[in-house]
Amino acid sequence: MRKLDTLVADFPDIYKLTGQDEVSKTYSFPKSYVSYRKPRVVSTEQRERARQMMIANNKAKGD
């Protein structure tokens, strides 16, 4: 809801707040802006490789 409120404030011509009560809000925006994706599957090897890269990047940045 907070993310949609930000989009309404930043792009009022595309995202519109159409209704609101004390517990819910209704928004309007183009149907093409909605996407559904399966969660990304990351193997333990890929996760460890990414972790090592981030450790190396953080060390290089700290120098």
Summarised one tens digit per residue, pLDDT across range 16-45 is 999 999 999 999 999 999 999 999 899 999
pLDDT at site 62:
79
CA 59 – CA 30 distance, rounded (Å): 44
In a domain, 54, yes or no: no
In a domain, 60, yes or no: no
Number of domains the chain is built from: 1
In a domain, 24, yes or no: yes
In a domain, 39, yes or no: no
In a domain, 6, yes or no: yes
pLDDT at site 28:
96
- Host domain of residue 10: 1-30
In a domain, 9, yes or no: yes
CA 12 – CA 2 distance, rounded (Å): 15
Residue 3 Cα distances to 15, 32, 36, 44, 57, angstroms = 11, 18, 17, 31, 30
> In 3D, which of 24, 23, 21, 25 has the Cα closest to residue 8?
25
Beta carbons of 4 and 25 less than 8 angstroms apart: yes
In a domain, 35, yes or no: no
